[in-house]
Amino acid sequence: MSEVSTIDLYRLPEHVNQTVRIQGWVHGLRGSNARQFLSLRNSGKILQVLAEKEILGEDLFSEIKHLKQETSVEVIGKLVENEKSPIGFELVLSSFKKVGESDNYPITPKEHGIDFLLSQRHLWLRSSKQLAIIKVRSELSYQIRKYFHNNQFTLIDTPILTGSIGESAGTLFSTEYFDLGNAYLAQTGQLYLETAIFAHNKVYCYGPTFRAEKSKTRRHLTEFWMVEAETAFLTHAENLKLQENFVKTVIKETVAACEPELKVLERDTSTLLDYISKPFALIDYKEALEYLQSQGEDITWGDDINSEREQMLCQKFGGPVFIQKYPREAKAFYMKVNPEDPRTVLNADLIAPDGVGEIIGGSEREESYETITKRLEEENLPVESYEWYLELRKYGSVPHSGFGLGTERLIAWICGLQHVRECIPYPRMMERLYP
């Protein structure tokens, strides 16, 4: 008798009509006194295993029938095609053994409250919907890196601990750093990323970002993953084209690769794909203000465009919209002042519909040493802490632009989720640091 191959669920098509061994966990169990259908989880996928009393005998069948959820097992059987199976295959069981017993697993098929599930996040990750979301996240992460690799961007790993403020002093997590005073968890890798364009022209970073915002909205996390890109000799207008192409490409490729997962999530992606088949709308902040005022919104120059107003604009344009040239005083010191209207800067936010909101923020960067020094002073930021950054403007400064995209919001949009807390394995929010 030939040796039985041990396989995972990625390799099923290679072993049709063969006897194979699969190791995994009991995801669920249902059936009758003659047949049991065991859902076996392996590699983030779920395989139906058919156990028949006539084949297995009374004792073994009874043992299977009483298996507890999340018991780890090793099964042997014939792998056959099954059109009704979500993954197209079924295993007809011939033998099995337990690997690890399971106690009374706390997450059952009944409804559970979100607080309970988040407290059980270490176990909730095993649930069908969560399996699908994490698979989409993994694929999106791959497609992001693939896009930049294919477009000759060099990966730069920027520091998480920094002595410089990238966005706002009011949203920093600080910690003591030996004898050097306070260090901060990075709000952005952008400032460090800019240093690398003078060596590599086109660069990106992808990693965790921290914002101590006291916000409890469904769009905010205190720790999230952001991809940022910087390009030398790139104008604001060219930057917008790059962002649009990037977003459309990674969405299209992720949706194509994750059809089974999106089916589990009951996500109809037809509208999403329609959005990315057309050019994104582009309006000035001034135009957005005028439209919102015409709709009865009490909003004046310099006011933030909140989430409800963002969605009003998306509805007007029938999809994603870039809002560009915001008031200078509302944006970061490194954004280039608009030469045609010094009240504004050459920046843009990409707003996604369906309640998702801003997914990208980008701008052309200020390349003048004198101008950026003045902006730092206006913001009451310690110029001496930015000497390394200012020196970039002294040794061959060039026009350049960049952007940052929050991964979790893009995952929420792709998956059709209402809250970003399910888009990251372990969400960190104002009220949650466990597990």
Over residues 60-81, the pLDDT tens digits come to 999 999 999 999 999 999 999 9
Using the 3D structure, point to which of 100, 129, 149 is the last residue of a domain: 100
* Rounded percentage of the chain residues whose pLDDT exceeds 70: 99
**Domain shared by 54 and 131, yes or no:** no
Q: How confident is the model at residue 385 (pLDDT cuts 50, 70, 90)?
A: confident
Residues 409/137, Cβ–Cβ less than 8 Å: no
Spell out the residues 6+ positions from residue 151 whose beta carbon is closer than 8 angstroms to its own.
202
Buried b (16+ CB within 10 A) or exposed e, 232-252: bebebeebbebbbebbbbbbb
Between CA 306 and CA 317 the distance in angstroms is 17
Residues 26/40, Cβ–Cβ less than 8 Å: yes
The number of folded domains in the chain is: 2
**Domain shared by 33 and 138, yes or no:** no
How far is C-alpha 150 from the geometric centre of its chain's CA atoms?
Answer: 20
Using the 3D structure, point to which of 67, 100, 133 is the last residue of a domain: 100
pTM exceeding the 0.85 threshold for the entire prediction: yes
**Domain shared by 27 and 149, yes or no:** no
On the CB side of 217, CA atoms within 13 Å amount to 11
Q: What is the DSSP letter of 151?
A: T
Residue that wins the pLDDT comparison between 380 and 319? 319
Report if residue 109 sits inside a domain: no
Report if residue 431 sits inside a domain: no
260 φ, ψ (degrees, to nearest 5): -65, -40
Over residues 403-418, the pLDDT tens digits come to 999 999 999 999 999 9
Query: What is the model's pLDDT at position 170?
Result: 73
Q: Which domain holds residue 394?
A: 119-422
Give the number of residues written for the chain: 435
The CATH number linked to 89 is 2.40.50.140
Q: How confident is the model at residue 165 (pLDDT cuts 50, 70, 90)?
A: confident
Question: Nearest Cα to 44, choosing from 109, 134, 140?
Answer: 134
**Domain shared by 79 and 189, yes or no:** no
Q: How far apart are the first and last CA of the chain?
A: 48
Section 224-245 average pLDDT: 98
**Domain shared by 174 and 259, yes or no:** yes
Query: What is the model's pLDDT at position 86?
Result: 82
**Domain shared by 193 and 83, yes or no:** no
Query: What is the model's pLDDT at position 110?
Result: 87
Q: What is the DSSP letter of 265?
A: T
* Rounded percentage of the chain residues whose pLDDT exceeds 90: 93
**Domain shared by 358 and 296, yes or no:** yes
The CATH number linked to 239 is 3.30.930.10
